[in-house]
Structure 1
Amino acid sequence: MEIRGKVHEIGDVQQVTDTFKKRDLIVQYAENPQFVEYIRFEATQDRTTLFDNLSVGDEVEVSFNLRGRPWTNRDGVTSYFNSLVAWRVAKVTSEPVAGGAQSASNSQSFTPPPTVDISAEDGKDDDLPF
Protein backbone atom coordinates (compact mmCIF):
# COMPACT_ATOMS: atom_id res chain seq x y z
CA MET A 1 0.00 0.00 0.00
CA GLU A 2 1.10 3.58 -0.58
CA ILE A 3 -0.04 7.06 0.36
CA ARG A 4 1.28 10.56 -0.23
CA GLY A 5 1.32 13.26 2.36
CA LYS A 6 3.38 15.80 4.24
CA VAL A 7 5.72 14.95 7.13
CA HIS A 8 4.18 16.33 10.33
CA GLU A 9 6.45 14.77 12.96
CA ILE A 10 9.45 12.45 13.12
CA GLY A 11 9.83 10.46 16.32
CA ASP A 12 13.03 9.45 18.06
CA VAL A 13 14.23 5.86 17.97
CA GLN A 14 12.74 3.99 20.94
CA GLN A 15 14.66 1.02 22.32
CA VAL A 16 11.67 -1.07 23.48
CA THR A 17 13.70 -4.10 24.64
CA ASP A 18 17.34 -5.12 24.38
CA THR A 19 16.65 -6.60 20.95
CA PHE A 20 13.77 -4.49 19.61
CA LYS A 21 13.64 -0.83 18.55
CA LYS A 22 11.07 1.24 16.69
CA ARG A 23 10.46 4.76 15.39
CA ASP A 24 7.30 6.66 14.42
CA LEU A 25 6.56 8.98 11.51
CA ILE A 26 3.40 11.10 11.50
CA VAL A 27 2.17 12.10 8.04
CA GLN A 28 -0.54 14.67 7.24
CA TYR A 29 -2.84 13.01 4.74
CA ALA A 30 -5.29 15.37 3.03
CA GLU A 31 -7.31 13.33 0.57
CA ASN A 32 -10.08 15.79 1.46
CA PRO A 33 -8.43 19.12 2.48
CA GLN A 34 -11.34 19.93 4.80
CA PHE A 35 -10.59 16.87 6.91
CA VAL A 36 -6.84 16.40 7.27
CA GLU A 37 -5.84 13.06 8.77
CA TYR A 38 -2.68 12.44 10.80
CA ILE A 39 -1.45 8.93 10.03
CA ARG A 40 1.13 7.19 12.25
CA PHE A 41 3.61 4.86 10.54
CA GLU A 42 6.21 2.86 12.35
CA ALA A 43 9.55 1.43 11.33
CA THR A 44 11.28 -1.30 13.30
CA GLN A 45 14.79 -2.61 13.75
CA ASP A 46 17.14 -1.64 10.87
CA ARG A 47 14.36 0.24 9.07
CA THR A 48 14.31 2.97 11.75
CA THR A 49 16.87 4.75 9.56
CA LEU A 50 14.23 5.21 6.81
CA PHE A 51 13.22 8.49 8.43
CA ASP A 52 16.76 9.91 8.89
CA ASN A 53 16.80 12.08 5.73
CA LEU A 54 13.31 13.53 6.22
CA SER A 55 12.32 16.94 7.57
CA VAL A 56 9.02 18.28 8.83
CA GLY A 57 7.12 19.66 5.84
CA ASP A 58 8.60 17.27 3.24
CA GLU A 59 6.13 15.81 0.75
CA VAL A 60 6.57 12.04 0.85
CA GLU A 61 5.20 8.81 -0.54
CA VAL A 62 5.12 6.07 2.09
CA SER A 63 5.00 2.40 1.11
CA PHE A 64 3.73 0.30 3.99
CA ASN A 65 2.19 -2.97 5.14
CA LEU A 66 -0.95 -3.15 7.27
CA ARG A 67 -0.49 -5.42 10.29
CA GLY A 68 -3.11 -6.51 12.83
CA ARG A 69 -2.94 -8.59 16.00
CA PRO A 70 -5.09 -9.56 18.96
CA TRP A 71 -4.18 -8.97 22.61
CA THR A 72 -6.01 -10.52 25.54
CA ASN A 73 -5.84 -8.79 28.93
CA ARG A 74 -5.85 -10.46 32.39
CA ASP A 75 -9.66 -10.45 32.47
CA GLY A 76 -9.85 -12.41 29.22
CA VAL A 77 -11.02 -9.44 27.12
CA THR A 78 -9.49 -9.44 23.66
CA SER A 79 -8.63 -6.21 21.87
CA TYR A 80 -7.30 -5.83 18.34
CA PHE A 81 -4.51 -3.51 17.24
CA ASN A 82 -3.44 -2.32 13.80
CA SER A 83 -0.04 -1.04 12.73
CA LEU A 84 1.11 0.64 9.54
CA VAL A 85 4.66 -0.62 9.05
CA ALA A 86 6.69 1.53 6.65
CA TRP A 87 9.18 -0.26 4.39
CA ARG A 88 10.00 2.59 1.98
CA VAL A 89 9.72 6.38 2.17
CA ALA A 90 10.49 8.56 -0.85
CA LYS A 91 10.46 12.34 -1.02
CA VAL A 92 8.11 13.59 -3.72
CA THR A 93 9.76 16.17 -5.95
CA SER A 94 8.31 18.15 -8.80
CA GLU A 95 11.61 19.12 -10.36
CA PRO A 96 12.74 17.23 -13.48
CA VAL A 97 16.04 15.36 -13.45
CA ALA A 98 18.77 16.30 -15.96
CA GLY A 99 17.89 15.20 -19.47
CA GLY A 100 14.20 15.84 -19.06
CA ALA A 101 13.43 12.58 -17.27
CA GLN A 102 11.54 12.64 -14.02
CA SER A 103 12.72 11.02 -10.82
CA ALA A 104 11.30 7.62 -9.89
CA SER A 105 9.58 9.07 -6.83
CA ASN A 106 7.70 11.44 -9.10
CA SER A 107 6.80 9.00 -11.84
CA GLN A 108 3.06 9.36 -11.25
CA SER A 109 2.94 13.15 -11.35
CA PHE A 110 0.87 14.94 -13.99
CA THR A 111 2.66 16.63 -16.86
CA PRO A 112 0.33 18.83 -18.93
CA PRO A 113 0.37 18.37 -22.71
CA PRO A 114 2.03 21.06 -24.83
CA THR A 115 -0.07 24.09 -25.75
CA VAL A 116 -1.55 24.01 -29.26
CA ASP A 117 -2.34 27.22 -31.14
CA ILE A 118 -5.74 26.53 -32.72
CA SER A 119 -5.85 29.94 -34.36
CA ALA A 120 -2.91 29.13 -36.66
CA GLU A 121 -5.13 28.64 -39.69
CA ASP A 122 -7.12 31.88 -39.74
CA GLY A 123 -9.88 32.16 -42.31
CA LYS A 124 -11.08 28.55 -42.03
CA ASP A 125 -14.52 28.20 -40.53
CA ASP A 126 -14.96 26.22 -37.40
CA ASP A 127 -17.64 23.59 -37.86
CA LEU A 128 -17.77 22.42 -34.25
CA PRO A 129 -21.31 22.42 -32.80
CA PHE A 130 -20.37 24.37 -29.68
Structure 2
Amino acid sequence: MEIQGKIKLVSETQTFGNNGFRKREIVITTDEQYPQHIMIEFVQDKTDLLNAYQVGQTVKISINLRGREWTNPQGEVKYFNSIQGWRIENLQTEQSGGTIPPVPPIEAFEPANDLNEEEHDDLPF
Protein backbone atom coordinates (compact mmCIF):
# COMPACT_ATOMS: atom_id res chain seq x y z
CA MET A 1 0.00 0.00 0.00
CA GLU A 2 1.05 3.59 -0.47
CA ILE A 3 0.10 6.88 1.11
CA GLN A 4 0.88 10.42 -0.07
CA GLY A 5 1.02 13.68 1.80
CA LYS A 6 3.06 16.56 3.14
CA ILE A 7 5.47 15.91 6.00
CA LYS A 8 4.25 17.49 9.22
CA LEU A 9 6.78 15.98 11.65
CA VAL A 10 9.89 13.78 11.59
CA SER A 11 10.90 12.46 15.01
CA GLU A 12 14.33 11.49 16.26
CA THR A 13 15.34 7.83 16.27
CA GLN A 14 14.43 6.03 19.51
CA THR A 15 16.24 2.92 20.77
CA PHE A 16 14.52 0.36 23.03
CA GLY A 17 15.68 -2.67 25.04
CA ASN A 18 18.95 -4.55 25.26
CA ASN A 19 18.77 -5.67 21.62
CA GLY A 20 18.89 -2.09 20.32
CA PHE A 21 15.48 -2.05 18.60
CA ARG A 22 15.24 1.27 16.73
CA LYS A 23 12.09 3.18 15.74
CA ARG A 24 11.47 6.54 14.09
CA GLU A 25 8.12 8.16 13.39
CA ILE A 26 6.94 10.51 10.67
CA VAL A 27 3.59 12.28 10.44
CA ILE A 28 2.19 13.24 7.05
CA THR A 29 -0.91 15.26 6.24
CA THR A 30 -2.94 13.94 3.34
CA ASP A 31 -4.22 16.26 0.60
CA GLU A 32 -7.93 15.54 0.39
CA GLN A 33 -11.24 17.14 1.29
CA TYR A 34 -10.78 16.13 4.93
CA PRO A 35 -6.98 16.02 5.46
CA GLN A 36 -5.75 13.32 7.81
CA HIS A 37 -2.62 13.39 9.96
CA ILE A 38 -1.16 9.89 9.62
CA MET A 39 1.67 8.63 11.84
CA ILE A 40 3.94 6.06 10.17
CA GLU A 41 6.77 4.28 11.93
CA PHE A 42 10.03 3.14 10.37
CA VAL A 43 11.95 0.46 12.28
CA GLN A 44 15.51 -0.87 12.48
CA ASP A 45 17.63 -0.03 9.38
CA LYS A 46 14.66 1.73 7.72
CA THR A 47 14.93 4.58 10.24
CA ASP A 48 17.86 5.95 8.21
CA LEU A 49 15.57 6.48 5.19
CA LEU A 50 14.09 9.54 6.92
CA ASN A 51 17.43 11.37 7.21
CA ALA A 52 16.98 13.03 3.80
CA TYR A 53 13.48 14.40 4.47
CA GLN A 54 12.21 17.56 6.14
CA VAL A 55 8.94 19.12 7.26
CA GLY A 56 6.99 20.55 4.32
CA GLN A 57 8.13 18.08 1.64
CA THR A 58 5.49 16.14 -0.30
CA VAL A 59 6.21 12.41 -0.22
CA LYS A 60 4.86 8.99 -1.14
CA ILE A 61 5.42 6.28 1.46
CA SER A 62 5.08 2.53 0.88
CA ILE A 63 3.51 0.98 3.97
CA ASN A 64 2.48 -2.29 5.60
CA LEU A 65 -0.37 -2.52 8.12
CA ARG A 66 0.63 -4.44 11.23
CA GLY A 67 -1.63 -5.80 13.99
CA ARG A 68 -0.90 -7.56 17.25
CA GLU A 69 -2.71 -9.08 20.19
CA TRP A 70 -1.80 -8.30 23.80
CA THR A 71 -3.19 -9.65 27.06
CA ASN A 72 -3.01 -7.18 29.94
CA PRO A 73 -2.28 -8.22 33.56
CA GLN A 74 -6.04 -8.44 34.25
CA GLY A 75 -6.39 -11.05 31.49
CA GLU A 76 -8.15 -8.76 28.99
CA VAL A 77 -7.14 -9.22 25.37
CA LYS A 78 -6.40 -6.01 23.47
CA TYR A 79 -5.55 -5.45 19.81
CA PHE A 80 -3.23 -2.81 18.39
CA ASN A 81 -2.57 -1.68 14.85
CA SER A 82 0.43 0.15 13.44
CA ILE A 83 1.42 1.54 10.07
CA GLN A 84 4.98 0.62 9.17
CA GLY A 85 6.87 2.33 6.37
CA TRP A 86 9.51 0.61 4.27
CA ARG A 87 10.14 3.08 1.41
CA ILE A 88 9.76 6.85 0.98
CA GLU A 89 9.95 8.96 -2.18
CA ASN A 90 10.06 12.71 -2.70
CA LEU A 91 7.18 13.85 -4.96
CA GLN A 92 8.33 17.45 -5.37
CA THR A 93 10.09 18.14 -8.64
CA GLU A 94 13.41 19.88 -8.30
CA GLN A 95 13.75 23.10 -10.26
CA SER A 96 16.72 22.83 -12.54
CA GLY A 97 18.99 25.72 -13.39
CA GLY A 98 18.02 25.54 -17.08
CA THR A 99 14.43 26.64 -16.66
CA ILE A 100 13.06 29.47 -18.75
CA PRO A 101 12.52 32.64 -16.71
CA PRO A 102 9.01 34.13 -16.65
CA VAL A 103 8.16 36.68 -19.35
CA PRO A 104 7.44 40.19 -18.03
CA PRO A 105 3.98 41.66 -18.72
CA ILE A 106 3.50 43.62 -21.95
CA GLU A 107 3.34 46.89 -19.97
CA ALA A 108 7.04 46.49 -19.17
CA PHE A 109 8.03 47.01 -22.82
CA GLU A 110 8.21 50.36 -24.60
CA PRO A 111 6.37 50.61 -27.91
CA ALA A 112 8.55 50.85 -31.04
CA ASN A 113 7.31 54.12 -32.60
CA ASP A 114 10.25 54.94 -34.89
CA LEU A 115 9.89 52.14 -37.40
CA ASN A 116 9.82 53.08 -41.06
CA GLU A 117 9.25 49.86 -42.95
CA GLU A 118 10.48 51.23 -46.31
CA GLU A 119 13.90 52.20 -44.91
CA HIS A 120 14.43 49.03 -42.94
CA ASP A 121 13.52 46.53 -45.62
CA ASP A 122 16.62 44.35 -45.68
CA LEU A 123 14.89 41.08 -46.52
CA PRO A 124 16.66 39.07 -49.28
CA PHE A 125 13.52 38.60 -51.40
State the TM-score, normalizing by the size of structure 2: 0.71
Identity fraction in percent: 38
What is the identity, as a one-letter code, of the residue corresponding to 1:77?
E
What is aligned with 1:3?
Answer: 3
Q: Which has the larger radius of gyration?
A: 2
| Aligned-partner Cα distance in 1 for 2:39–2:75 | 28
Q: Match for residue 26 of structure 1? A: 27
Q: Quote the residue 1:81 is aligned against.
A: 80
Higher mean C-alpha displacement, 86-95 vs 63-72: 86-95
Structure 1's unaligned 5+ residue stretches are 98-130
CA positional deviation for 1:95: 5.2
Kindly indicate whether the alpha-carbon contact (under 8 Å) linking 2:13 and 2:22 is maintained by their aligned counterparts in 1: yes
After the TM superposition, which parts of structure 1 deviate over 4 Å for at least 4 consecutive aligned residues? Answer: none
Structure 1 position 51, deviation (Å):
0.6
Residue 17 (structure 1) shift: 1.4
Provide TM-score, normalisation by structure 1: 0.69
Offset at residue 91 of structure 1 (A):
0.4
- Deviation by residue 1:31-54 (Cα, 9 ceiling, x = unmatched): 22xx22110100111110011000
Secondary structure of the corresponding residue to residue 6 of structure 2:
strand
Q: CA deviation at 1:75?
A: 0.7
Q: Aligned equivalents of 1:73 and 1:12: distance in 2?
A: 29
Root mean square deviation of aligned Cα? 1.5
- C-alpha contact 2:7 2:55 (8 A) present in aligned 1: yes
The aligned counterpart of 2:39 is: 40
SS of equivalent residue, structure 2 residue 55:
coil
